Amino acid sequence: MSHMILSHLQAHDGATLSELCAATGLPEEAVQDILCELSRSGVVVGVPRHHQPPILHAVTTLGECEWCGIIEHHRVAGMCPTCLNKSSGLESLPATYTHATPRSHA
Ligand SMILES: [Zn+2]
């Protein structure tokens, strides 16, 4: 489900919780749960605003898509929009995000 949220954030450069609920059709609780996971993975950041709900942004980077290799200016979690839409979000990301393993110094 997280890919729906990430895709929306990637396409819109920020959205509020209620906008994400409307865009995904998921209940607020579910969206909040996913956002919690995403922000813990460092893929989404929330920007607090005065007297208004925080704006959520996907952390985008410039570089090669880790899946198809095209150069993308708004990679989210290392994926271009096409690959992000085809994926199921963080659930199917390469191991680094969900099960980080300590690197050996060898
Ligand atoms: Zn791609």
More confident residue, 15 or 86: 15
Q: Give the count of domains, the chain.
A: 1
Confidence of residue 86 (pLDDT cuts 50, 70, 90): confident
Report helix angle 28-40 to 2-12, nearest 10. Answer: 80
**What's the CATH number where 49 sits?**
1.10.10.10
* Domain, as residue range, for 40: 2-91
Q: Is residue 98's pLDDT more than 50?
A: no
Does 101 map to a domain?
no
Residue 78 lies in a domain: yes
Closest by CA position to 11, among listed 23, 29, 1: 23
22 located within any domain: yes
Beta bridge partner(s), residue 63: 72
Higher pLDDT residue, 103 or 95?
Answer: 103
What residues have their beta carbon closer than 5 A to ion ligand 1? Answer: 65, 67-68, 80, 83
How many angstroms separate the alpha carbon of residue 35 from the centre of ligand 1? Answer: 22
In a domain, 12, yes or no: yes
For residues 80 and 86, which has the higher predicted lDDT (pLDDT)?
A: 80
Q: Is residue 49 part of a domain?
A: yes
In a domain, 104, yes or no: no
**Tens digit of each residue's pLDDT (9 = 90 or more) over 19-61:** 999 999 999 999 999 999 999 999 999 999 999 999 999 999 9
* Average pLDDT over all residues of the chain: 86
100: in domain? no
Of the pLDDT bands very low, low, confident and very high (cuts 50, 70, 90), residue 88 is confident
Residue 96 Cα to ligand 1 middle (Å): 17
Give the pLDDT score at 1.
81
